Each structure stands twice: as structure tokens, then as C-alpha cells.
Structure 1
Amino acid sequence: MHFSSDLAAQSVAYKALLSTLYDSDFPIVKPAELTDLSKYQIVDTREKEEFEVSHLKGANWVGYDTFSIDNVSGLDKNQPVLVYCTVGARSQEIGKKLKEAGFNQVYNLYGGLIEWANEKKPIFHEGSQTNKVHTYSKSWGIWLTKGEKVY
């Protein structure tokens, strides 16, 4: 019982933290709402070493520090795009750049890869499912409750 209340408290704290990271006018989509990722062009906005640990199935790596609009030249501006990173801050920034470049439907994955993994949604490494999640840093890693933390 004590264990589950700790998780509930952590979940509330994580949601409070996320509310400080997101702009209210940028659309988010929660992991539970995503039943079919194939409806989206998936864009991973983390650094290459993070992507190589694990990512969403079918994700296109575009980077953050190294991001250029050329990195998304193969995507269709009229089809929905799902951007994500570790928690959603970097992906929101890249999402804004995509909107400025003419992408019509851009959504940020609420809670990022950490929330995705915590909700036991599948993540992949070289085509195979994995439980490893690059949490960006140890301080962000405290929010991962399901999966193996990698820094």
C-alpha cells in the first residue's frame, strides 16, 4: 500500500512539473490517447545517443541541438506529426519550428518518452522491443517508474 501511494504522489508531482514546461496553446496528446501510431509521422527530437538507446516505433530522428528544417524534408506538411523527447520540453520547441515551417498538425507527446514508458507502451531498440529509456540525466530519471534508466 505504501508503495502505490508513493507512485501516486510521484505521478502528481510529475504532472505538476510538466504543467510548468508546456505552453497552453501548443497541442499535446497523451499516451493513452494514442492507439495507432501509424496515423502520425513520428519525430524524435532528442540527441542521437538518446535515440539509439530506445525510441517509439517508426520514429524519425531529427535531433535538437543539431536540428535543421532539412531534417524533416521527407515529411508531409499536411499529415499529422507527433513530436517527442524525454519529457516534452525540447519536442515542444521543435514542434513550434515545424509549425512555423508550414506543418499543419503538430502534437507534442505529453510526458515524453518517460510517460510513454511509465504507461507500459512499447519502445524499441534496433527493431526489437526494449525497456531501456535514456532519461537525459539522473535528475529526470527519478520520474521513470517503469523501465531501465540509461543516462
Structure 2
Amino acid sequence: MKYLIVFILLISQLTVAQQSLDELLSQYNTRSIPYISVEGLRALQMNDDIVILDTREPSEFSVSKIEGAVHVGFNDFSSDTIPEEIADPNTPIVVYCSLGIRSEEIGEKLKKAGFTNVQNLYGGIFEWKNKGYPLLNEQLQPTDSVHTFSKSWSKWLKAGIPVFEKNSN
């Protein structure tokens, strides 16, 4: 009986954590760009035709990235930053940022530019790392570090090493 109670408590904590991420994303996102799970992206990574776009800032991208990701940024994003190799507007594109908030906005801009197959990585690079998937640093070596922007946003990273500016909250 004691094990059953412990199991139920663990499951309820996982459910609350997932609901919290759902609530956070609902607060900021409109779901105008469909989500793809980290498991779904991992499966698609085996397909050479997919394009993964990192919509974080250069300081974040320099700490770690998902393998194969192309940096397009957020603040300076424009149609000029869309990689030239995406000639076909039906090319599968997955956008990501830290949690999936900024990437939705970039996904909307891609749709306006005529791209029809854009998905937003649910939970972003944080969820990718939380699920145990690999990241690469600037030297393309495996890393556990993830730029979390600030201490307060670090709570969403459950696995890995949070990196942020010392003077940020």
C-alpha cells in the first residue's frame, strides 16, 4: 500500500508539472503554429528533408543547439534570414526556442512568407533536454549546458546545466 501511495504521488507531481508547462504556453501562445513533440522531432531528425530553425538569440545558440539546427534568431529575424536552402514552401520546418514561445512568433512569420509545413517544438530546447535528447555546443561537441535566459526561467529545465547572465532574475 505504501508503494501505491508513493507511485500516485509521483504521477500527480508529473501531471502538475506538465499542466504547468501547458498553462505557461497557453498564457503566451495562440497555437497558431501546431506543436510537435520532442519525440516527434527526434523521429523526424532521421529525415534529411526536415529543416530545424533555432529562433533564440546568438548568446543562447552559442551555448547549445539541437543537432542540425540553423540559427535564425528572434530580434533580428526577417525573411532575409530564412536559409536559402528552403526553396520549397512545403518543406517540413520545425522552429524552436527555449520553451516554444518566441518560436511560435517566428513560425507565424514563416507562414506569412508562404511556408506551409511549419511546426513549433513543444517545450522547446528545455523539453528536448529534459527528455534526455542530445545537444551540441559551438564546437559541435555534446553538451549538457542550456542557456536558460535567467534564473526564473531555469525552473523549466529539469535536466542539464542552466547557463544565464548573473544579473538576470
Q: Which amino acid aligns with 1:14?
A: L
| Structure 2 counterpart of 1:142 | 155
| Structure 1 counterpart of 2:77 | 67
RMSD: 2.0
Counterparts in 2 of 1:36 and 1:24: CA distance versus 1, 3 Å: closer
The alignment of Structure 1 onto Structure 2 pairs a total of residues equal to: 151
Unaligned runs of 5+ in 1: none
Q: Rg: which structure is higher?
A: 2
| Structure 2 counterpart of 1:27 | 34
Task: Say yes or no: does 1:102 pair with 2:114.
Answer: yes
2:36–2:121 CA contact under 8 A, matched in 1: yes
Q: Which amino acid aligns with 1:145?
A: K
| Structure 2 counterpart of 1:81 | 93
2:32–2:108 CA contact under 8 A, matched in 1: no
Task: Say yes or no: does 1:57 pair with 2:67.
Answer: yes
- Runs of 4+ with deviation above 4 angstroms: 1-7
2:32–2:104 CA contact under 8 A, matched in 1: no
Instruction: Give TM-score, length-normalised by structure 2.
Output: 0.81
Counterparts in 2 of 1:24 and 1:63: CA distance versus 1, 3 Å: closer
Q: Deviations over 1:67-101 (max 9, x none)?
A: 12111141232211100000111100011000100
Task: Say yes or no: does 1:128 pair with 2:128.
Answer: no
Instruction: Give TM-score, length-normalised by structure 1.
Output: 0.90
Unaligned runs of 5+ in 2: 1-5, 165-169
- Identify which range, 84-93 or 3-12, moves more after superposition: 3-12
Q: Deviations over 1:102-150 (max 9, x none)?
A: 1110000001111111111111112111110111221111111000000
